[in-house]
Structure 1
Amino acid sequence: MTVQQTRGESGVQPGHEPLKFAYWVPNVSGGLVVSKIEQRTDWSYEYNKRLAKVAEDSGFEYALSQVRYMASYGAAYQHESTSLSLALLLATERLNVIAAVHPGLWQPGVLAKFIASADQISGGRAAINVVSGWFKDEFTQLGEPWLEHGERYRRAEEFIRYVREIWTSDHAEYQGDFYRLHDFDLKPKPLEVPGRAHPEIFMGGNSTDARGMGGRVTDWYFMNGNTPEGVAEQVRDVTDVARVNGRPEGAVKFGVNGFVVARDSEAAARQVLHDIIDQADVEAVEGFGSAVKQAGQSTGDKKGMWQDSDFSDLVQYNDGFRTGLVGTPDQVAHRIMEYKRQGVQMMLLGFLHFIEDVEHFGREVLPIVRELEAAELARVGR
């Protein structure tokens, strides 16, 4: 049975459901590319509030707030992810906002309480992205221990199990190596939303440790930018882990990162991409590459995020160029459909000039995606 033939808990084949679209919240200065090119994007709350409303009206269902705690690699300033996420939830009506959080810097019960309140306040639109951590200095300079790669994922998995337990049990109990929970009744719990047991839990990764954790405990598995073939391999691995661990088919959903450059002509779009890379901040890109590759090289099998990323890939710090969303609106839409056919259910997108590019995507690209989805559904039938 292929990934596209498996059925989710609803009984609907994942490939038949409309793709969901998310965008990276630019709550970190420097935009989404480590380049000196002009980026008409700003990290301020006012800009992000306006962007959230534009994205919501342009067909985006999710937004992901980044997490950085200190200046690094072109990101001089950062708004904290959970507080900004709550602010964006309050500024919108339908947008689901995912706050990136670090185990080791958050106590899970405190985070669970914050998100439960945010979920109640927003009408059930809060979510978290659990980040095991790649930036050693953020931990050590805050006085926290920096764990070995596998241990960071073990801690993150315990963090997720703890949070899920406290959100869903009236007598929450958890005993782990990193966290413990004793007969705790969180009130209020997150809002009861049909089709959702609790606020959605996302994570990202590429390593064997990440794939294992994703298959065992997460609701959504985010992948760095990659080819359709590279994405399909991760979808198979994580799905296999979920199956072996007794989770129902469709329990883990998949998203992939991509950086969109959609212009009137393919030549114009490729020129923009060339200019971004040509004007890259070389020192910042090389520093970022050194940091992230050190994190991945600490895995036992040397299989981790960014391990095969070259300089141009790292200019977009989640390998977004590798997804290949560069060209005319029609070309970008057809490329997006290639990922859907590999089991992707959400596209997590970055842009150069966020507000105008998000508006353009919603007006010019997304309608083509929906037409292609409808045509494919009519062709294969239900």
Structure 2
Amino acid sequence: MTDAASLSSPIFTRSDRLKLGVFHMNCTGGATPSTAEGGINPLEWSQQVRIAQLADRAGFDAFIPIARWRGYGGPSKFNDEQYEAIPWAAAISALTERIAVFATAHVPLIHPVRLAKEVATLDHISGGRFCLNVVAGWNQRELDMFGVELIPHDERYTVAGEWIRFLEKLWVETEEFDFDGTYFRSKGALSDPKPIQRPRVPIMSAGSSPAGVAFAAEYADICFAVADSPETLQPLVARIKDAAAERGRTVEVWTQVGVICGDTEDDVTRRYDHIVREHGDVEAVTNQMTMLMGGGGKTLDYKLDPAMLERMMAMQHSYQLFGTPEQIVKKMQQLADIGVDGMSMIWPDYETGIARFRDAVIPLAVQAGLRSAG
């Protein structure tokens, strides 16, 4: 049975206690619905290249895009423009040297035969640095664009499990085969070349529901778990790792963090107020929350909680890694102590944020034993 400990991927061969990923940068606004200056608005390829190469040279471990086809509007045009994750990953792979490059694929929207070939191609372009983020499907408005039905929640993971099994067979079988599943059927299936990484590329999935955790424990190497404090995250981390151990597997847990680093606490507060309270895009976040809470794009008949709206404007309800460099490293230590293996990181301004993290935070993280000096 494949698990993270048995994969040859460079993302698992480093000795860092806490891995660093750059997340959600391939859409307008990134993960910060705000009209404040800086950030990713408009969406420009030259900026994506600068961010990728900056993170690569700074020693970050992963570059993780989202897959999105519709945004949330508002004055900031939040996520209204998106670079599609698979061709994006191919180009970024060719322009970087050591960082692992993910692409995100939604199970209902891409057939395993096609994706098997695309993944192998990406792994060859990257020299064995490619990783796959698997999403079972959830966004009704986007699926409507493809004419695809959103099936019941738990069944989505059943479909995704068969999808993964089909992919893995395509990556290892050297002779053509028939696949006769409940959801996928194929005659004379074959895919060459195979990925460089053996026995397959690393797989990430997200989910905190029982079905999502079970899927990650069975098929993923990294589970993406979101919570706003170590106290709420710790039991989820334990539940995911225990579920994997019950299956004889090892799964890393990464969490989503938003970063605002300042010289002083007052500096951080001023920047937060400017980005979130003065320029936060309430309209875009209201549209997003309406969709997430089942409104289907229609107006809900109750008022959305202002505190929740603010947390969504503050980098999508991420764990808030806000503070001075010393405070940020202390919070990173807390995450590592509860079993978190990696952080998928978001900044209001990725270029200045990554550069400051490289210069001010990483040296302290090395001293704290969270990162290696190399």
**Pairwise same-fold verdict (TM > 0.5):** yes
TM-score bracket, shorter-length normalisation:
0.7 to 0.9
CA deviations on 1:66-106 (whole Å, 9 max, x unpaired) are 11112334222111110011100001111111111111111
The answer to whether 1:313 aligns with 2:315 is no
- Of residues 314, 320, 324, the one that matches 2:320 is 324
- What does residue 168 of structure 1 align with? 172
Q: How does 1:187-266 map to 2 (within 5 A)?
A: 187-192=192-197, 197-244=199-246, 246-248=247-249, 251-266=250-265
Contact 1:134 / 1:291 at 8 angstroms: preserved in 2?
A: no
The amino acid of 1:310's aligned partner reads M
User: If the length of structure 2 is used for normalisation, what is the TM-score?
Assistant: 0.86
Going from structure 1 to structure 2, the CA distance change for 1:280 and 1:208 (only over 3 Å counts) comes to same
CA distance in structure 1 between the partners assigned to 2:234 and 2:165 by the alignment: 27
Q: Which structure 1 segments of 5+ residues have no match?
A: 1-6, 296-306, 377-382
Contact 1:25 / 1:48 at 8 angstroms: preserved in 2?
A: no
The answer to whether 1:107 aligns with 2:111 is yes
Q: Per-residue deviation at 1:316?
A: 4.4
Contact 2:63 / 2:101 at 8 angstroms: preserved in 1?
A: yes
Partner SS state of residue 88, structure 2: helix
Going from structure 1 to structure 2, the CA distance change for 1:108 and 1:317 (only over 3 Å counts) comes to farther
Identity, in percent, stands at 25
CA RMSD of aligned residues (A): 2.7
Q: Per-residue deviation at 1:361?
A: 0.4
Q: Which structure 2 segments of 5+ residues have no match?
A: 8-12, 296-304
Q: Per-residue deviation at 1:148?
A: 1.7
- What does residue 189 of structure 2 align with? 184
Name the count of aligned residue pairs. 349
- Of residues 79, 84, 89, the one that matches 1:85 is 89
CA distance in structure 2 between the partners assigned to 1:40 and 1:375 by the alignment: 27
- What does residue 293 of structure 1 align with? 293
The answer to whether 1:284 aligns with 2:284 is yes
Q: Per-residue deviation at 1:150?
A: 1.5
The amino acid of 1:19's aligned partner reads L
Q: Per-residue deviation at 1:317?
A: 5.6
CA deviations on 1:134-171 (whole Å, 9 max, x unpaired) are 32110112211121212222222222222222223335
The amino acid of 1:341's aligned partner reads D
Partner SS state of residue 248, structure 2: coil
Return 204-213 or 152-161, whichever deviates more: 152-161
Contact 1:22 / 1:348 at 8 angstroms: preserved in 2?
A: yes
- Of residues 329, 344, 354, the one that matches 1:348 is 344
CA distance in structure 2 between the partners assigned to 1:17 and 1:173 by the alignment: 42
Return 77-86 or 17-26, whichever deviates more: 17-26
CA distance in structure 2 between the partners assigned to 1:99 and 1:164 by the alignment: 17
User: If the length of structure 1 is used for normalisation, what is the TM-score?
Assistant: 0.84
CA distance in structure 2 between the partners assigned to 1:317 and 1:176 by the alignment: 40
